[in-house]
Structure 1
């Protein structure tokens, strides 16, 4: 199997200690973000009261509960109203039933004139109470995605409460976004957005000297991922707070889902593509199956969100798990696709590990990508399955940990995949993945002499190194690799080949002589083709007054 050569990357010049140091820095920064998130403000402010404390006995169908919440603004983002019933028979049995409720919601700017938002909306909700737990599970009654008024009032009645003699009381809960968390989120999103823009400019600046056809597969993917990371950080995010429209929220989720889908596609394609030449990466046979799998995941996520968002705008009493027919079906399909993706990724990773012994440059690419990616991939897939990866979070630690995880991951990949700053021109940038493991073997010598490529990671030198001969010695000073011994100021001469040396000497001896006065300083052929091939200096130019020699 023959693999294509790839443009040189920082990864090839980094020692093992440098790579371990980068990974350690990544873990430290990620840990710091988790700590900052854990110490951050709570996401929601909750206000709760009970019906009995307000003088209302909800055990009767005619009882109606009224409650106001005040001093809201745009930074509260959204409004959620829930109820948790109190099980009077909790010590003896659990409860699993449905309760019909009539709900009304009103908004006011001054506290006197209330505008109707929802009027006498009747909904049936599933009630579940565990035995031994006096409070039943919380049930969402209202969800207002935008805060239009500073004052809201809710009216609630249980229409079949008298049939449920286990009801002792009802706990009502208002839940809104915390002001401090909204500012916390805005500042961290802005910070990562600026850092992503700086990283994208830096990475593009490093690649500007080379044609896109010369970029390695990793560098092409990193360009796409950096642009998608800009979308993930969402420069339009403030509009989701300030604008009373579903479209900015829709864009935010589309940006998020697109970034996650592109990241999943990157992991699958990159582990498979760095083992194969470009001719084997066809659109139909190589990319189409992967795009179909990840694209289905993307489509399911976007469709479910769109359906949910439009229902919430049309009906604030809407509840996703209760009111979307087939919602569980979508979740099951999503999990099955993730399982299939995981097995496919493991399969191509095993093939890459199997091939890395034959190709050392392939080995270093897979090792770095694998170690860092396994860490990120495990957290990402676990978060998707558990439903904690999304645009709505349960706490600040969850928000900042996932947000920093994806940003730091792309930043560190961009650093190691960028071309070196002093790499030279494109002619010095090509590395061959076919370099053998054992650089001292006869196969390595033949390959080095034939291809003109080194078997170690460094493949370019400065002009001073080549003139001084330092580029021609290996690390232990014993003559260097076949490529080093044959590379003299860019020429293809190989001092390790005795037959080539003898043939060159014979060719010089057979060259017609030039009649010129012999001097003591004239070098003998042995001085050129002798035992010291490292001391090569450019020949001195003849003086301007030297007469033109005559041919005999």
Structure 2
């Protein structure tokens, strides 16, 4: 219910602006907040009321979708801050393909054993090792590719934007929150599973078992408060910044704790150019 109310509040705060004027962070928040509602599993009581595997499948689908959307958000945000021209084929499609290669194995790993156990109570994934390890290896390979790709995007973003006003602030805020979420998640995972967190039954145990209510609240509360914090920061303030025609990806519009200085981005044609121009385009003095 809290996530639903925050989603409505965030959408209401942006309704007076045209979608074209939303920053990339605000566009992604309008996607992540509804996905967060599904991640919180509002259909959880149906697992007790309905004798079916469908509620569990819907929960696994919603969780995998939200987590993959969050991973896609990190890729797009670190690349999008350096690139104003974001075409689907060149900007989004490679990232969507990479995340899809993580989404499909995650769905299979989280539902495979459940569905087979309902059809055959004696089923054990350790017997079906050939197919299971293929999917698991596929997931780990693309996870490594994702980590390397994200690391390169973060490195390039800090290299090219660290000296630019406002953009440096956006980078620091994004990175700080992301590091907090990843650090706490890794610590909780290590405390829960120890050195066996890469065992073959890791996915099945992760989605079904918690040793205490603190672990349950830590996993769900961490991502919820992470999204709540970003929704608060990226919600537009009460200033009249929407009266100007330079609000698209303007950090003064997307961050409420902005500076009072006016930043002139130039003409609309120039503002659409990529931020990382080649050296040949620079004026030679």
When normalised by structure 1's length, the TM-score is 0.42
Structure 2 match to 1:299: 104
- Cα contact 2:7–2:34 (8 A) shared by 1: yes
Q: How does 1:494-509 map to 2 (within 5 A)?
A: none
- Paired with 1:378 and 1:292, the residues of 2 have a C-alpha distance of 26
Structure 1 match to 2:232: 415
- Paired with 2:248 and 2:125, the residues of 1 have a C-alpha distance of 53
- Between structure 1 and structure 2, the one with the greater Rg is 1
Structure 1 match to 2:40: 233
- Which of 123, 130, 134 pairs up with 1:329? 134
- Cα contact 1:275–1:352 (8 A) shared by 2: yes
Counterparts in 2 of 1:400 and 1:354: CA distance versus 1, 3 Å = same
SS of 1:326's partner is: helix
- Cα contact 2:75–2:150 (8 A) shared by 1: yes
Structure 1 vs Structure 2 CA RMSD: 2.6
SS of 2:207's partner is: coil
- Paired with 1:393 and 1:340, the residues of 2 have a C-alpha distance of 29
Structure 2 match to 1:351: 156
Higher relative contact order structure (alpha carbons within 8 Å, sequence separation ≥ 6): 2
1:379 is displaced (CA, Å) by: 4.6
Q: List runs of 5+ in structure 1 lacking aligned partners.
A: 1-193, 436-455, 461-481, 484-552
Counterparts in 2 of 1:229 and 1:434: CA distance versus 1, 3 Å = closer
1:198 is displaced (CA, Å) by: 1.5
Structure 2 match to 1:457: 259
SS of 1:360's partner is: coil
Structure 1 runs (4+) deviating above 3 angstroms are 378-390, 428-435
Q: Does 2:57 correspond to 1:255?
A: no
Structure 2 match to 1:392: 208
1:208 is displaced (CA, Å) by: 1.1
Counterparts in 2 of 1:270 and 1:361: CA distance versus 1, 3 Å = same
Structure 2 match to 1:402: 219
1:262 is displaced (CA, Å) by: 0.4
- Cα contact 2:23–2:250 (8 A) shared by 1: no
- Cα contact 2:82–2:157 (8 A) shared by 1: yes
SS of 1:322's partner is: coil
Q: Does 2:143 correspond to 1:338?
A: yes
Counterparts in 2 of 1:370 and 1:353: CA distance versus 1, 3 Å = same
1:284 is displaced (CA, Å) by: 1.3
Structure 2 match to 1:365: 170
- Paired with 2:49 and 2:220, the residues of 1 have a C-alpha distance of 22
Counterparts in 2 of 1:394 and 1:235: CA distance versus 1, 3 Å = closer
1:229 is displaced (CA, Å) by: 0.2
Structure 2 match to 1:17: none
Structure 2 match to 1:426: 242
Greater share of residues in strand: 1
Structure 2 match to 1:268: 75
1:380 is displaced (CA, Å) by: 4.6
- Paired with 2:25 and 2:90, the residues of 1 have a C-alpha distance of 20
Q: List runs of 5+ in structure 2 lacking aligned partners.
A: 191-196, 252-257, 265-285
SS of 1:377's partner is: helix
- Cα contact 2:3–2:36 (8 A) shared by 1: yes
Deviations 1:294-318 (A, max 9, x none): 1111111112333322211111111
Counterparts in 2 of 1:257 and 1:271: CA distance versus 1, 3 Å = same
- Paired with 1:207 and 1:408, the residues of 2 have a C-alpha distance of 20
Structure 1 match to 2:27: 220
- Cα contact 1:256–1:390 (8 A) shared by 2: no
1:425 is displaced (CA, Å) by: 5.7
Structure 2 match to 1:550: none
